[in-house]
Structure 1
Amino acid sequence: MRYVLFCMLVLTGAPAAARTLACGGTVAPGLAYPDVSGAWHGLEITLCQKIAGQIGARALFTPIMQDSDVPPPGRGRSVIFVPAGDIAPGYLPGPVIYNDNQAIMVPAGSKARDAAALANAEICVEPGSPEDFNLTAYFAAHKIALREFVFQETDEMHDAYVAGRCDAITARKSLLIGLRANEGRNDVILPDNLGDNPIRAATPAGISGWAALVAHTIKENTHGL
Protein backbone atom coordinates (compact mmCIF):
# COMPACT_ATOMS: atom_id res chain seq x y z
CA MET A 1 0.00 0.00 0.00
CA ARG A 2 1.34 3.41 -0.95
CA TYR A 3 0.19 6.21 1.25
CA VAL A 4 1.26 9.36 3.02
CA LEU A 5 -0.05 10.43 6.39
CA PHE A 6 -0.52 14.17 6.04
CA CYS A 7 -0.72 15.55 9.55
CA MET A 8 1.34 18.55 10.54
CA LEU A 9 2.76 18.34 14.02
CA VAL A 10 3.85 21.51 15.79
CA LEU A 11 7.19 20.80 17.42
CA THR A 12 7.83 24.13 19.09
CA GLY A 13 5.72 26.52 21.06
CA ALA A 14 6.26 29.57 18.86
CA PRO A 15 3.32 31.97 18.39
CA ALA A 16 0.90 31.14 15.61
CA ALA A 17 1.99 34.24 13.69
CA ALA A 18 5.61 33.04 13.52
CA ARG A 19 6.82 31.59 10.25
CA THR A 20 7.24 27.87 10.04
CA LEU A 21 9.71 25.35 8.65
CA ALA A 22 8.04 22.31 7.11
CA CYS A 23 9.92 19.04 7.55
CA GLY A 24 8.98 15.56 6.42
CA GLY A 25 10.59 12.36 7.56
CA THR A 26 10.69 8.59 7.67
CA VAL A 27 8.82 7.22 10.68
CA ALA A 28 10.81 4.84 12.88
CA PRO A 29 11.98 4.65 16.50
CA GLY A 30 15.13 6.70 16.84
CA LEU A 31 14.35 8.76 13.73
CA ALA A 32 10.83 10.09 14.30
CA TYR A 33 8.37 8.30 16.54
CA PRO A 34 5.61 9.31 18.97
CA ASP A 35 5.73 8.34 22.63
CA VAL A 36 2.69 7.21 24.62
CA SER A 37 1.63 10.84 25.11
CA GLY A 38 1.77 11.54 21.37
CA ALA A 39 4.93 13.68 21.56
CA TRP A 40 7.40 13.00 18.76
CA HIS A 41 11.07 12.29 19.36
CA GLY A 42 14.10 11.21 17.36
CA LEU A 43 16.97 12.42 15.22
CA GLU A 44 14.76 13.85 12.48
CA ILE A 45 12.72 15.81 15.00
CA THR A 46 15.85 17.24 16.59
CA LEU A 47 17.35 18.23 13.25
CA CYS A 48 14.09 19.84 12.12
CA GLN A 49 14.05 21.95 15.27
CA LYS A 50 17.71 22.91 14.92
CA ILE A 51 17.27 23.96 11.28
CA ALA A 52 14.13 25.93 12.15
CA GLY A 53 16.11 27.72 14.86
CA GLN A 54 18.60 28.92 12.25
CA ILE A 55 15.91 30.95 10.51
CA GLY A 56 13.86 31.94 13.57
CA ALA A 57 10.98 29.65 12.65
CA ARG A 58 8.89 27.04 14.42
CA ALA A 59 9.25 23.47 13.21
CA LEU A 60 6.37 21.54 11.65
CA PHE A 61 6.86 17.82 11.01
CA THR A 62 4.95 15.64 8.52
CA PRO A 63 5.39 11.87 8.97
CA ILE A 64 6.23 10.20 5.66
CA MET A 65 4.92 6.66 5.82
CA GLN A 66 6.64 3.74 4.11
CA ASP A 67 6.45 3.44 0.32
CA SER A 68 5.17 6.99 -0.18
CA ASP A 69 5.05 8.04 -3.81
CA VAL A 70 5.71 11.75 -3.26
CA PRO A 71 7.53 13.02 -0.17
CA PRO A 72 6.04 16.19 1.35
CA PRO A 73 6.33 19.07 2.08
CA GLY A 74 7.51 20.06 -1.40
CA ARG A 75 7.90 23.82 -1.83
CA GLY A 76 9.73 26.73 -0.30
CA ARG A 77 12.21 26.40 2.54
CA SER A 78 11.63 22.85 3.69
CA VAL A 79 13.52 19.65 4.47
CA ILE A 80 12.77 15.95 4.07
CA PHE A 81 14.57 12.95 5.55
CA VAL A 82 14.05 9.89 3.34
CA PRO A 83 15.94 6.90 1.89
CA ALA A 84 18.33 8.05 -0.82
CA GLY A 85 16.42 6.13 -3.50
CA ASP A 86 13.15 7.86 -2.60
CA ILE A 87 14.34 11.43 -3.16
CA ALA A 88 11.98 12.88 -5.75
CA PRO A 89 12.91 15.01 -8.76
CA GLY A 90 13.18 18.67 -7.81
CA TYR A 91 14.99 17.93 -4.53
CA LEU A 92 18.70 18.29 -3.87
CA PRO A 93 20.20 15.31 -1.97
CA GLY A 94 21.95 16.42 1.19
CA PRO A 95 23.90 14.76 3.99
CA VAL A 96 23.31 11.23 5.21
CA ILE A 97 21.83 11.25 8.72
CA TYR A 98 21.45 7.48 9.23
CA ASN A 99 22.34 4.28 7.37
CA ASP A 100 19.10 2.34 7.31
CA ASN A 101 20.59 -0.97 6.16
CA GLN A 102 18.41 -3.89 5.09
CA ALA A 103 18.13 -6.61 7.71
CA ILE A 104 16.18 -9.75 8.58
CA MET A 105 13.93 -10.10 11.64
CA VAL A 106 12.79 -13.35 13.25
CA PRO A 107 10.24 -14.00 16.01
CA ALA A 108 11.53 -13.93 19.57
CA GLY A 109 11.22 -17.71 19.86
CA SER A 110 13.28 -18.44 16.75
CA LYS A 111 16.59 -20.26 17.16
CA ALA A 112 18.10 -18.36 14.20
CA ARG A 113 20.87 -15.96 15.14
CA ASP A 114 22.13 -15.18 11.65
CA ALA A 115 20.99 -15.53 8.05
CA ALA A 116 22.81 -18.85 7.61
CA ALA A 117 20.40 -20.42 10.09
CA LEU A 118 17.49 -19.54 7.77
CA ALA A 119 18.39 -22.00 5.01
CA ASN A 120 15.09 -23.22 3.48
CA ALA A 121 13.09 -21.11 5.96
CA GLU A 122 10.24 -19.04 4.51
CA ILE A 123 11.17 -15.35 4.41
CA CYS A 124 8.53 -12.68 3.79
CA VAL A 125 9.55 -10.25 1.03
CA GLU A 126 7.94 -8.12 -1.68
CA PRO A 127 8.72 -9.63 -5.12
CA GLY A 128 10.72 -7.47 -7.51
CA SER A 129 11.59 -4.96 -4.80
CA PRO A 130 15.15 -3.82 -3.96
CA GLU A 131 14.79 -5.89 -0.79
CA ASP A 132 13.99 -8.95 -2.90
CA PHE A 133 17.08 -8.36 -5.05
CA ASN A 134 19.35 -7.85 -2.03
CA LEU A 135 17.96 -10.92 -0.25
CA THR A 136 18.50 -13.13 -3.31
CA ALA A 137 22.01 -11.79 -3.90
CA TYR A 138 23.04 -12.14 -0.25
CA PHE A 139 21.81 -15.71 0.10
CA ALA A 140 23.42 -16.70 -3.23
CA ALA A 141 26.75 -15.12 -2.27
CA HIS A 142 26.76 -16.97 1.05
CA LYS A 143 25.44 -20.22 -0.48
CA ILE A 144 22.32 -20.25 1.72
CA ALA A 145 19.26 -22.07 0.37
CA LEU A 146 16.51 -19.47 -0.03
CA ARG A 147 12.72 -19.87 0.14
CA GLU A 148 10.72 -16.69 -0.34
CA PHE A 149 7.15 -16.07 0.82
CA VAL A 150 6.11 -13.21 -1.45
CA PHE A 151 3.46 -10.52 -1.01
CA GLN A 152 2.49 -7.63 -3.27
CA GLU A 153 1.31 -5.40 -0.41
CA THR A 154 3.49 -4.28 2.51
CA ASP A 155 0.62 -4.38 5.02
CA GLU A 156 -0.34 -7.90 3.95
CA MET A 157 3.27 -9.03 4.36
CA HIS A 158 3.51 -7.51 7.84
CA ASP A 159 0.25 -9.18 8.87
CA ALA A 160 1.46 -12.55 7.60
CA TYR A 161 4.69 -12.28 9.55
CA VAL A 162 2.92 -11.27 12.76
CA ALA A 163 0.50 -14.18 12.29
CA GLY A 164 3.42 -16.61 12.02
CA ARG A 165 2.87 -17.51 8.37
CA CYS A 166 6.55 -16.98 7.55
CA ASP A 167 9.72 -17.69 9.54
CA ALA A 168 11.35 -14.30 8.98
CA ILE A 169 10.86 -10.95 7.28
CA THR A 170 13.30 -8.66 5.51
CA ALA A 171 13.07 -4.89 5.08
CA ARG A 172 14.90 -1.70 6.00
CA LYS A 173 16.00 -1.90 9.62
CA SER A 174 13.95 1.14 10.62
CA LEU A 175 10.79 -0.51 9.28
CA LEU A 176 11.54 -3.71 11.17
CA ILE A 177 12.10 -1.74 14.38
CA GLY A 178 8.82 0.09 13.80
CA LEU A 179 6.92 -3.15 13.13
CA ARG A 180 8.35 -4.68 16.29
CA ALA A 181 7.44 -1.61 18.36
CA ASN A 182 3.93 -1.31 16.92
CA GLU A 183 3.17 -4.93 17.73
CA GLY A 184 4.79 -4.81 21.19
CA ARG A 185 7.00 -7.77 20.32
CA ASN A 186 10.53 -8.76 21.33
CA ASP A 187 11.54 -10.10 17.92
CA VAL A 188 15.22 -10.33 17.01
CA ILE A 189 16.87 -8.38 14.18
CA LEU A 190 19.72 -10.52 12.86
CA PRO A 191 23.19 -8.95 12.45
CA ASP A 192 23.51 -9.62 8.71
CA ASN A 193 23.62 -6.47 6.55
CA LEU A 194 21.90 -7.23 3.25
CA GLY A 195 22.52 -3.78 1.78
CA ASP A 196 23.09 -0.16 2.73
CA ASN A 197 20.15 2.23 2.50
CA PRO A 198 21.13 5.69 3.74
CA ILE A 199 18.54 8.16 5.01
CA ARG A 200 19.47 11.55 3.57
CA ALA A 201 18.29 15.08 4.08
CA ALA A 202 16.98 16.69 0.90
CA THR A 203 15.83 20.22 0.08
CA PRO A 204 13.86 21.76 -2.79
CA ALA A 205 16.14 22.94 -5.59
CA GLY A 206 16.41 26.56 -6.63
CA ILE A 207 16.52 28.26 -3.20
CA SER A 208 19.80 30.13 -2.90
CA GLY A 209 21.91 29.07 0.08
CA TRP A 210 19.23 26.85 1.60
CA ALA A 211 20.84 23.47 0.92
CA ALA A 212 24.15 24.75 2.32
CA LEU A 213 22.53 26.06 5.52
CA VAL A 214 20.71 22.75 6.07
CA ALA A 215 23.87 20.72 5.44
CA HIS A 216 25.92 22.86 7.83
CA THR A 217 23.30 22.62 10.58
CA ILE A 218 23.09 18.85 10.22
CA LYS A 219 26.89 18.53 10.35
CA GLU A 220 27.01 20.64 13.51
CA ASN A 221 24.37 18.48 15.19
CA THR A 222 25.42 15.00 14.05
CA HIS A 223 29.18 15.29 14.54
CA GLY A 224 29.77 15.11 10.83
CA LEU A 225 27.79 11.90 10.23
Structure 2
Amino acid sequence: MSLRLGGAVALAAAYVAFTAVPALAGPTLDAVKSKGQLTCGVNTGLPGFSSPDSQGKWTGLDVDICKAVAAVILNDTTKIRYTPLSAQQRLTALQSGEIDLLVRNTTWSLTRDAQGLDFAPPVYYDGQGLMVAKSLGVTSAKQLDGATVCVQPGTTTELNLADWFRAHNLSFKPVVIEALDEVNAAFFAGRCDVLTTDISGLAGVRASVATKPDDFIILPEVMSKEPLAPVVRHGDNQWRDIVSWTIYALIEAEEKGITQANIDAKLKDPDPSVQRLLGVQGDLGTGLGVDKAWAYRAIKAVGNYGEIFERNIGKKTPLKLDRGLNALWTNGGLMYAPPIR
Protein backbone atom coordinates (compact mmCIF):
# COMPACT_ATOMS: atom_id res chain seq x y z
CA MET A 1 0.00 0.00 0.00
CA SER A 2 1.37 3.44 -0.93
CA LEU A 3 1.84 6.14 1.66
CA ARG A 4 -0.77 8.27 -0.13
CA LEU A 5 -3.32 5.45 -0.15
CA GLY A 6 -2.55 4.53 3.45
CA GLY A 7 -3.12 8.11 4.53
CA ALA A 8 -6.45 8.21 2.71
CA VAL A 9 -7.61 5.01 4.39
CA ALA A 10 -6.59 6.34 7.82
CA LEU A 11 -8.43 9.58 7.16
CA ALA A 12 -11.56 7.70 6.12
CA ALA A 13 -11.39 5.52 9.21
CA ALA A 14 -11.02 8.56 11.42
CA TYR A 15 -14.01 10.20 9.75
CA VAL A 16 -16.18 7.16 10.37
CA ALA A 17 -15.00 6.86 13.96
CA PHE A 18 -15.84 10.47 14.84
CA THR A 19 -18.99 10.97 12.77
CA ALA A 20 -22.37 10.16 14.28
CA VAL A 21 -24.14 7.43 12.33
CA PRO A 22 -27.95 7.55 12.41
CA ALA A 23 -29.34 4.77 14.59
CA LEU A 24 -31.50 2.07 13.07
CA ALA A 25 -35.02 2.34 14.42
CA GLY A 26 -35.65 -0.09 17.27
CA PRO A 27 -38.98 -1.75 18.06
CA THR A 28 -39.44 -0.16 21.49
CA LEU A 29 -38.71 3.38 20.34
CA ASP A 30 -41.09 2.95 17.41
CA ALA A 31 -43.79 1.56 19.69
CA VAL A 32 -43.47 4.40 22.21
CA LYS A 33 -43.63 7.02 19.46
CA SER A 34 -46.57 5.29 17.79
CA LYS A 35 -48.74 5.15 20.91
CA GLY A 36 -47.48 8.53 22.17
CA GLN A 37 -46.90 7.12 25.62
CA LEU A 38 -44.16 5.46 27.66
CA THR A 39 -45.29 2.51 29.78
CA CYS A 40 -43.01 2.38 32.78
CA GLY A 41 -43.03 -0.47 35.29
CA VAL A 42 -42.56 0.76 38.87
CA ASN A 43 -42.88 -0.45 42.45
CA THR A 44 -46.34 -0.80 43.94
CA GLY A 45 -45.35 1.79 46.51
CA LEU A 46 -41.82 2.42 47.79
CA PRO A 47 -41.39 5.86 49.40
CA GLY A 48 -38.64 7.90 47.80
CA PHE A 49 -38.45 5.69 44.71
CA SER A 50 -41.95 5.20 43.32
CA SER A 51 -45.22 5.79 45.12
CA PRO A 52 -48.55 7.44 44.26
CA ASP A 53 -50.23 10.07 46.40
CA SER A 54 -53.95 10.20 47.18
CA GLN A 55 -54.58 11.80 43.79
CA GLY A 56 -52.69 9.09 41.92
CA LYS A 57 -49.67 11.31 41.20
CA TRP A 58 -46.46 9.29 41.14
CA THR A 59 -43.21 10.60 42.60
CA GLY A 60 -39.78 9.23 43.46
CA LEU A 61 -36.28 8.69 42.11
CA ASP A 62 -37.37 5.85 39.81
CA VAL A 63 -40.34 7.91 38.63
CA ASP A 64 -38.01 10.78 37.71
CA ILE A 65 -35.95 8.40 35.54
CA CYS A 66 -39.15 7.45 33.71
CA LYS A 67 -39.91 11.15 33.27
CA ALA A 68 -36.44 11.87 31.90
CA VAL A 69 -36.80 9.14 29.25
CA ALA A 70 -40.28 10.41 28.33
CA ALA A 71 -38.88 13.92 27.97
CA VAL A 72 -36.17 12.64 25.61
CA ILE A 73 -38.59 10.67 23.41
CA LEU A 74 -41.92 12.48 23.68
CA ASN A 75 -40.98 15.91 25.07
CA ASP A 76 -43.74 15.44 27.63
CA THR A 77 -43.39 13.96 31.13
CA THR A 78 -47.16 13.54 31.46
CA LYS A 79 -47.29 10.95 28.67
CA ILE A 80 -46.33 8.08 30.96
CA ARG A 81 -48.41 5.15 32.07
CA TYR A 82 -47.09 3.90 35.40
CA THR A 83 -47.65 0.18 35.86
CA PRO A 84 -47.20 -0.92 39.50
CA LEU A 85 -45.62 -4.37 39.66
CA SER A 86 -44.72 -6.79 42.43
CA ALA A 87 -41.27 -8.33 42.64
CA GLN A 88 -42.57 -11.52 41.04
CA GLN A 89 -44.44 -9.73 38.24
CA ARG A 90 -41.83 -7.20 37.11
CA LEU A 91 -39.50 -9.21 34.85
CA THR A 92 -42.32 -11.13 33.18
CA ALA A 93 -44.12 -7.86 32.44
CA LEU A 94 -41.03 -6.54 30.68
CA GLN A 95 -40.30 -9.72 28.72
CA SER A 96 -43.92 -10.03 27.57
CA GLY A 97 -44.02 -6.46 26.25
CA GLU A 98 -46.57 -5.26 28.80
CA ILE A 99 -44.19 -2.42 29.70
CA ASP A 100 -41.54 -0.54 27.71
CA LEU A 101 -39.15 0.08 30.58
CA LEU A 102 -38.72 -1.29 34.08
CA VAL A 103 -37.49 1.20 36.70
CA ARG A 104 -38.36 -0.61 39.90
CA ASN A 105 -35.45 -0.90 42.38
CA THR A 106 -34.22 -3.98 40.50
CA THR A 107 -30.78 -5.43 41.20
CA TRP A 108 -28.47 -5.99 38.24
CA SER A 109 -27.19 -9.55 38.47
CA LEU A 110 -25.60 -12.07 36.12
CA THR A 111 -28.61 -14.41 36.23
CA ARG A 112 -31.03 -11.68 35.26
CA ASP A 113 -28.72 -10.31 32.60
CA ALA A 114 -28.62 -13.77 31.02
CA GLN A 115 -32.42 -14.16 31.05
CA GLY A 116 -33.26 -11.98 28.06
CA LEU A 117 -32.78 -8.70 29.92
CA ASP A 118 -30.40 -5.79 29.53
CA PHE A 119 -29.54 -3.31 32.27
CA ALA A 120 -28.91 0.40 31.99
CA PRO A 121 -26.44 2.09 34.40
CA PRO A 122 -27.40 1.85 38.09
CA VAL A 123 -29.37 4.81 39.38
CA TYR A 124 -28.82 3.84 43.01
CA TYR A 125 -26.07 1.75 44.59
CA ASP A 126 -27.60 0.00 47.56
CA GLY A 127 -27.02 -2.96 49.86
CA GLN A 128 -29.34 -5.31 51.68
CA GLY A 129 -29.99 -4.65 55.35
CA LEU A 130 -32.02 -5.79 58.33
CA MET A 131 -34.42 -3.72 60.44
CA VAL A 132 -35.58 -4.65 63.94
CA ALA A 133 -37.51 -3.06 66.77
CA LYS A 134 -35.27 -1.51 69.41
CA SER A 135 -37.22 -3.50 71.96
CA LEU A 136 -35.69 -6.70 70.53
CA GLY A 137 -32.46 -5.63 72.23
CA VAL A 138 -30.01 -6.49 69.43
CA THR A 139 -27.38 -4.26 67.86
CA SER A 140 -25.90 -6.69 65.32
CA ALA A 141 -27.27 -9.17 62.80
CA LYS A 142 -24.99 -11.77 64.35
CA GLN A 143 -27.35 -11.80 67.35
CA LEU A 144 -30.30 -12.97 65.24
CA ASP A 145 -29.82 -16.73 65.42
CA GLY A 146 -33.27 -18.37 65.21
CA ALA A 147 -35.06 -15.11 64.36
CA THR A 148 -38.14 -14.91 62.15
CA VAL A 149 -37.56 -12.74 59.07
CA CYS A 150 -40.21 -11.14 56.82
CA VAL A 151 -39.11 -11.25 53.17
CA GLN A 152 -40.61 -11.03 49.69
CA PRO A 153 -40.32 -14.04 47.36
CA GLY A 154 -38.79 -13.93 43.88
CA THR A 155 -36.12 -11.42 44.90
CA THR A 156 -32.36 -11.36 45.31
CA THR A 157 -33.22 -10.32 48.87
CA GLU A 158 -34.57 -13.79 49.61
CA LEU A 159 -31.43 -15.45 48.20
CA ASN A 160 -29.00 -13.09 49.94
CA LEU A 161 -30.74 -13.65 53.26
CA ALA A 162 -30.19 -17.41 53.08
CA ASP A 163 -26.57 -16.97 51.93
CA TRP A 164 -25.67 -14.54 54.72
CA PHE A 165 -27.16 -16.59 57.54
CA ARG A 166 -25.58 -19.77 56.18
CA ALA A 167 -22.18 -18.08 55.85
CA HIS A 168 -22.37 -16.96 59.50
CA ASN A 169 -23.62 -20.34 60.75
CA LEU A 170 -26.91 -18.86 61.91
CA SER A 171 -30.46 -20.13 61.49
CA PHE A 172 -33.61 -18.17 60.71
CA LYS A 173 -37.27 -18.78 59.95
CA PRO A 174 -38.53 -16.98 56.80
CA VAL A 175 -42.00 -15.43 56.74
CA VAL A 176 -42.54 -15.16 52.99
CA ILE A 177 -45.18 -12.67 51.79
CA GLU A 178 -45.48 -11.45 48.19
CA ALA A 179 -47.24 -8.07 48.49
CA LEU A 180 -44.98 -5.26 49.70
CA ASP A 181 -47.61 -3.58 51.87
CA GLU A 182 -48.49 -6.92 53.46
CA VAL A 183 -44.89 -7.84 54.29
CA ASN A 184 -44.41 -4.42 55.89
CA ALA A 185 -47.67 -4.73 57.83
CA ALA A 186 -46.65 -8.18 59.07
CA PHE A 187 -43.38 -6.82 60.46
CA PHE A 188 -44.94 -3.88 62.28
CA ALA A 189 -47.68 -6.17 63.62
CA GLY A 190 -45.00 -8.34 65.23
CA ARG A 191 -45.41 -11.41 63.03
CA CYS A 192 -41.63 -11.49 62.51
CA ASP A 193 -38.57 -10.21 64.37
CA VAL A 194 -36.81 -8.80 61.33
CA LEU A 195 -37.67 -7.04 58.07
CA THR A 196 -35.14 -7.32 55.26
CA THR A 197 -34.81 -5.55 51.93
CA ASP A 198 -32.50 -2.92 50.42
CA ILE A 199 -31.35 -0.41 53.03
CA SER A 200 -32.97 2.45 51.13
CA GLY A 201 -36.24 0.54 51.19
CA LEU A 202 -35.97 -0.05 54.93
CA ALA A 203 -35.42 3.68 55.47
CA GLY A 204 -38.48 4.45 53.36
CA VAL A 205 -40.68 1.94 55.15
CA ARG A 206 -39.55 3.14 58.58
CA ALA A 207 -40.29 6.76 57.66
CA SER A 208 -43.67 6.16 56.03
CA VAL A 209 -45.24 3.12 57.69
CA ALA A 210 -43.98 2.97 61.29
CA THR A 211 -46.17 4.81 63.78
CA LYS A 212 -43.03 5.66 65.77
CA PRO A 213 -40.02 5.49 63.39
CA ASP A 214 -37.54 6.04 66.24
CA ASP A 215 -38.60 2.72 67.77
CA PHE A 216 -36.86 0.83 64.94
CA ILE A 217 -33.21 0.53 63.92
CA ILE A 218 -31.43 -0.65 60.80
CA LEU A 219 -28.60 -2.94 61.86
CA PRO A 220 -25.05 -2.03 60.71
CA GLU A 221 -24.36 -5.12 58.58
CA VAL A 222 -24.62 -4.69 54.80
CA MET A 223 -25.39 -8.15 53.48
CA SER A 224 -24.89 -7.68 49.74
CA LYS A 225 -24.19 -5.41 46.79
CA GLU A 226 -27.39 -4.13 45.20
CA PRO A 227 -26.84 -1.98 42.10
CA LEU A 228 -30.39 -0.88 41.31
CA ALA A 229 -30.78 -0.23 37.60
CA PRO A 230 -33.45 0.27 34.91
CA VAL A 231 -34.10 -2.78 32.74
CA VAL A 232 -34.98 -3.22 29.06
CA ARG A 233 -35.54 -6.21 26.81
CA HIS A 234 -32.45 -7.91 25.45
CA GLY A 235 -31.65 -7.25 21.80
CA ASP A 236 -33.11 -3.75 21.42
CA ASN A 237 -29.75 -1.99 21.51
CA GLN A 238 -31.08 1.38 20.48
CA TRP A 239 -33.58 1.50 23.35
CA ARG A 240 -30.92 0.44 25.85
CA ASP A 241 -28.63 3.17 24.52
CA ILE A 242 -31.33 5.84 24.87
CA VAL A 243 -32.11 4.87 28.46
CA SER A 244 -28.42 4.53 29.36
CA TRP A 245 -27.31 7.83 27.89
CA THR A 246 -30.29 9.63 29.44
CA ILE A 247 -28.99 8.52 32.84
CA TYR A 248 -25.43 9.47 31.92
CA ALA A 249 -26.65 12.92 30.83
CA LEU A 250 -28.23 13.50 34.26
CA ILE A 251 -24.97 12.51 35.96
CA GLU A 252 -22.86 14.64 33.61
CA ALA A 253 -25.17 17.60 34.23
CA GLU A 254 -24.46 17.42 37.96
CA GLU A 255 -20.72 17.28 37.32
CA LYS A 256 -20.94 20.32 35.04
CA GLY A 257 -23.13 22.30 37.43
CA ILE A 258 -26.15 22.26 35.12
CA THR A 259 -29.44 22.38 37.04
CA GLN A 260 -33.11 22.48 36.18
CA ALA A 261 -33.09 26.17 37.09
CA ASN A 262 -29.95 27.34 35.27
CA ILE A 263 -30.01 25.15 32.16
CA ASP A 264 -31.22 27.90 29.84
CA ALA A 265 -28.39 30.18 30.96
CA LYS A 266 -25.99 27.27 30.48
CA LEU A 267 -26.84 27.23 26.77
CA LYS A 268 -24.39 30.16 26.54
CA ASP A 269 -21.65 28.41 28.52
CA PRO A 270 -18.43 28.44 26.45
CA ASP A 271 -17.36 25.01 27.79
CA PRO A 272 -17.39 22.70 24.71
CA SER A 273 -18.50 19.72 26.79
CA VAL A 274 -21.54 21.66 28.04
CA GLN A 275 -22.33 22.80 24.50
CA ARG A 276 -22.19 19.21 23.23
CA LEU A 277 -24.35 17.90 26.07
CA LEU A 278 -27.05 20.53 25.57
CA GLY A 279 -27.03 20.29 21.77
CA VAL A 280 -25.61 23.76 21.14
CA GLN A 281 -22.61 22.27 19.32
CA GLY A 282 -22.86 19.18 17.13
CA ASP A 283 -25.67 16.64 17.06
CA LEU A 284 -25.03 13.69 19.34
CA GLY A 285 -28.69 12.69 19.26
CA THR A 286 -28.39 11.29 15.74
CA GLY A 287 -26.54 8.23 16.93
CA LEU A 288 -29.31 7.49 19.43
CA GLY A 289 -32.20 8.10 17.05
CA VAL A 290 -33.31 11.33 18.76
CA ASP A 291 -32.70 15.03 18.10
CA LYS A 292 -29.83 17.15 19.37
CA ALA A 293 -31.81 18.64 22.29
CA TRP A 294 -32.46 15.23 23.92
CA ALA A 295 -30.27 15.80 27.00
CA TYR A 296 -31.52 19.38 27.41
CA ARG A 297 -35.10 18.09 27.66
CA ALA A 298 -34.22 15.40 30.21
CA ILE A 299 -32.37 17.83 32.51
CA LYS A 300 -35.01 20.56 32.08
CA ALA A 301 -37.71 18.06 33.05
CA VAL A 302 -36.22 16.55 36.22
CA GLY A 303 -32.93 18.31 37.01
CA ASN A 304 -29.53 16.67 37.32
CA TYR A 305 -28.87 13.44 39.21
CA GLY A 306 -27.98 15.25 42.42
CA GLU A 307 -31.24 17.20 42.32
CA ILE A 308 -33.21 14.00 41.76
CA PHE A 309 -31.45 12.32 44.70
CA GLU A 310 -31.90 15.19 47.15
CA ARG A 311 -35.52 15.84 46.17
CA ASN A 312 -36.63 12.25 46.68
CA ILE A 313 -34.39 10.51 49.22
CA GLY A 314 -31.81 13.03 50.45
CA LYS A 315 -31.12 14.51 53.86
CA LYS A 316 -34.11 16.88 53.76
CA THR A 317 -36.60 14.09 53.01
CA PRO A 318 -38.14 11.59 55.47
CA LEU A 319 -35.61 8.97 54.28
CA LYS A 320 -32.62 11.21 55.20
CA LEU A 321 -30.17 9.19 53.08
CA ASP A 322 -26.55 10.24 52.53
CA ARG A 323 -25.14 10.28 49.01
CA GLY A 324 -22.51 7.69 49.98
CA LEU A 325 -21.70 5.50 46.99
CA ASN A 326 -24.17 7.57 44.97
CA ALA A 327 -22.01 10.68 45.08
CA LEU A 328 -20.17 11.77 41.94
CA TRP A 329 -16.83 10.09 41.30
CA THR A 330 -15.21 13.45 41.97
CA ASN A 331 -16.61 13.28 45.51
CA GLY A 332 -15.61 9.70 46.24
CA GLY A 333 -18.75 8.02 44.89
CA LEU A 334 -19.50 5.71 41.98
CA MET A 335 -21.59 8.03 39.80
CA TYR A 336 -19.59 8.51 36.62
CA ALA A 337 -20.60 9.27 33.04
CA PRO A 338 -18.48 8.20 30.05
CA PRO A 339 -17.45 11.01 27.70
CA ILE A 340 -20.46 12.53 25.98
CA ARG A 341 -18.87 13.44 22.69
TM over 0.5: yes
> What secondary structure, in the 3-state scheme, does the structure 2 residue paired with 1:217 have?
helix
Structure 2, unmatched stretches of 5+, are 1-33, 253-334, 337-341
Change (3 A) 1:19 1:88: farther
- RMSD over aligned CA atoms reads 3.5
Confirm whether residue 43 of structure 1 aligns to residue 61 of structure 2. yes
Tell me which residue corresponds to 1:53. Answer: 71
Identical aligned residues as a percent: 28
What does the per-residue CA deviation read over 1:88-129, in whole Å, with 9 as the maximum and x for residues that have no partner? 954322211123422111125333232133344443457997
Of 173, 180, 190, the residue aligned with 1:149 is: 173
Q: CA deviation at 1:216?
A: 0.6
Q: Which residue matches 1:9? A: none
Q: Which has the higher strand share?
A: 1
Alignment-derived partner of residue 103 in structure 1: 129
| Separation (CA, whole Å) in 2 of partners of 1:205 and 1:97 | 19
Give distance in 1, aligned partners of 2:204 and 2:96: 25
Q: Which residue is 1:218 aligned to? A: 247
Deviations 1:108-158 (A, max 9, x none): 533323213334444345799754543343245445x43x22334335754
Listed one character per residue, the Cα deviations across residues 136-182 of structure 1 (whole Å, up to 9, x for unaligned) are: 43245445x43x22334335754542221332122333554454424
CA deviation map 1:187-207 (0-9, x unaligned):
322221111232221223444
TM-score (normalizing by structure 1): 0.71
In structure 1, C-alpha distance between the alignment counterparts of 2:74 and 2:156, rounded to whole Å: 40
Larger helix proportion, structure 1 or 2? 2
**2 CA distance for matches of 1:60 and 1:91?**
21
Equivalence map 1:153-192=2 (5 Å) = 153-155=177-179, 158-177=184-203, 179-180=205-206, 181-186=208-213, 187-192=216-221
How has the CA–CA distance of structure 1 residues 154 and 53 changed in structure 2, closer, same or farther, with 3 Å as cutoff? Answer: closer
Give the count of matched residue pairs.
Answer: 207
Q: Higher Cα Rg: structure 1 or 2?
A: 2
Checking the alignment, whether the CA contact within 8 Å between 1:103 and 1:190 is kept in structure 2 is yes
Distance 1:60 1:157, change over 3 A: closer
What SS does structure 2 have at the residue aligned with 1:105? Answer: strand
Q: 1:111 to 1:209 in 2, by over 3 A?
A: same
**Partner of 2:120: helix, strand, or coil?**
strand
